[in-house]
Amino acid sequence: MNPENDSSAVKAAGRLLFVDDEENILRSLKRLFMDEEYELFTATSGREALAILEKQEDIAVIVSDQRMPEMEGVEFLEKSRQVSPLSIRILLTGYADVNAAIDAINRAGLHRYLNKPWRDDELIQTVRTALQSYSLIKENQRLNGLVLKQNKELKRWNDDLEKMVQEQTEELQTRYDDLRHLNSEMRKNFKSTIMSFSSLLELRDKRMRSHSRNVAEMASIAGRILQLSAAEKETLLVGALLHDIGKIAIPDIMLQSDPEQMSAHEYAEYVQHPVRGQAAVDLIENLRDAGLVIRHHHERYDGEGFPDRLKRKDIPMAARIISILDFIDRKIRKFEGAAGVDAILQRVEEEAGKSFDPKLVPLLVPAARKYYREHLTNVDQVELELYPKDLKTGMVVSRDVYSGTGILLLGQGTVLDEKGITLLRRYHNLDPSRQGVFVSTR
């Protein structure tokens, strides 16, 4: 018998397949379900039914008789499971075939079996329930498909997101490395600019050559002794290098005089140099803290200094440090040898609590004694004057080295390395001095 469709013009609520070798039973089943909105298929053998299942999709319910020639219902239902695994299977069997029904449950995944002759209302209700089960199975399959698809999409999105995050992280790392390198270069240039500023006054006042460098080197030592923070050390170092920059505005004739020998008018002009120094750097935001140090490095601990007569802890710590170091280096230039160093440092100790912070003096004096003794020319050394081309690494500079126009290039006591030698050779071509480089040997 060919498959029949009883409601092809109407969308079926479900597809049913009835299998029985007796035509009259198949007609009875069709009449029973003719008022239901189902699409009906019939087959008179298991082989014919399997062919229908091969061609038709979504057969929701299969109702098969057990006793059929060639292929019994249990065997057919078992094979139908391979062709249409989601279909709901129902077996119609006589009372004598209960064992066959149990066998079908185990082998064919039977949903239910009904005894023949069946009760119409029971069969209709059983088919309806089977259709509902099939609908739930299909919906669950659809939802699982959606979940699987969504999971694949989520995985793809997650993979794309991880890739994007990795790429952005690498880009940010590259930018960070570039910025760090740029910042390092800017800091180097900043320090070089500060060093250049500190050399400006020395071009005018030959007596104070290397003064700012000495104060700055001692300030670095003081920063380590006092365990200052990195920011405090930087402020102290910049303040040391630029503490006398305000003297650029002082007339040349006054630069040759000691403050103690100045007239009242000259002294009034002189005491303004810390204020002018602060004003000179105040336009640069990063130098404003150092500007306060420049302004107050001539204040005295007892309040008798200038320009604001601050006292004790009202004077910035860095200014109190530079006050001591500036005094030592200015005064020590008038003496020769270790005896002169000891004489100046004794004066510093005598001024503790007056000119200088009494807590800083005992910390800085031993360090200053060590520093200046190491930088004095050793009498056991032989001094040579060499051209830059003849310099070797490891040689010790015995005198400050200046360019032809008076720029300090290297300080006394510097141990020459390749970088220092390259600098001296460059300036020998750019701004040659009338004398060579003095180095010491043993």
Task: Starting at the earlier edge strand, list the strands of the sheet with 396-397.
Answer: 382-386, 437-441, 396-397
> Mean pLDDT in the chain?
83
Separation of CA 50 from chain center: 67
* pLDDT at site 98: 66
The terminus-to-terminus CA distance of the chain in angstroms comes to 124
Instruction: Give the model's pLDDT for residue 186.
Output: 62
Q: In the block, which residue shows the tokens 């000259």?
A: 266
Burial of residue 322 (CB within 10 Å: 0-12, 13-18, 19+) is buried
Phi, psi at 352, each rounded to 5°:
-60, 130
What is the domain class of 377-442 according to CATH?
A: alpha beta
Residue 40 has pLDDT above 70, yes or no: yes
Give the mean model confidence (pLDDT) for residues 83-111.
78
- Report residue 379: phi and psi, to 5°: -70, -20
Domain boundaries, the chain: 15-140, 205-376, 377-442
Q: Which CATH class name applies to 205-376?
A: mainly alpha
Is the pLDDT reported for residue 283 higher than 60? yes
The pLDDT score that the predictor gives to residue 189 is: 62
2 band by pLDDT with thresholds 50, 70 and 90: very low
User: Distances in Å between the alpha carbon of 240 and those of 196, 212, 405?
Assistant: 13, 6, 23
Greater pLDDT, 384 or 61: 61
| pLDDT at 91 > cutoff 60 | yes
Confidence check: pLDDT of 365 > 50? yes
The edge-to-edge listing of strands for the beta sheet with 15-19 is: 39-43, 15-19, 61-65, 88-93, 112-115
> Beta strands 112-115 and 382-386: pairing type?
unpaired
Determine which helix (DSSP H) or strand (DSSP E) holds 64, and give its type and residue range: strand 61-65
Query: What is residue 65's three-state secondary structure?
Result: strand
Q: pLDDT by residue (tens digit) across 101-113?
A: 677 677 767 888 8
Q: Which CATH code fits 15-140?
A: 3.40.50.2300
pLDDT higher than threshold 90 for residue 364: yes
327 and 348 in contact (C-beta within 8 Å)?
A: yes
Q: pLDDT digits over 189-239, tens only?
A: 666 667 666 666 666 665 666 788 889 899 999 999 999 999 999 899 989
Contacts of residue 97, defined as CB under 8 A and 6 or more positions apart, other chains included, come to 66, 67
Query: Which of 115-129, 205-219, 313-327 has the least mean pLDDT?
Result: 205-219
* Structure confidence at residue 442 (pLDDT): 47
Measured CA angle at 331 (ends 330, 335), to 5 deg = 125
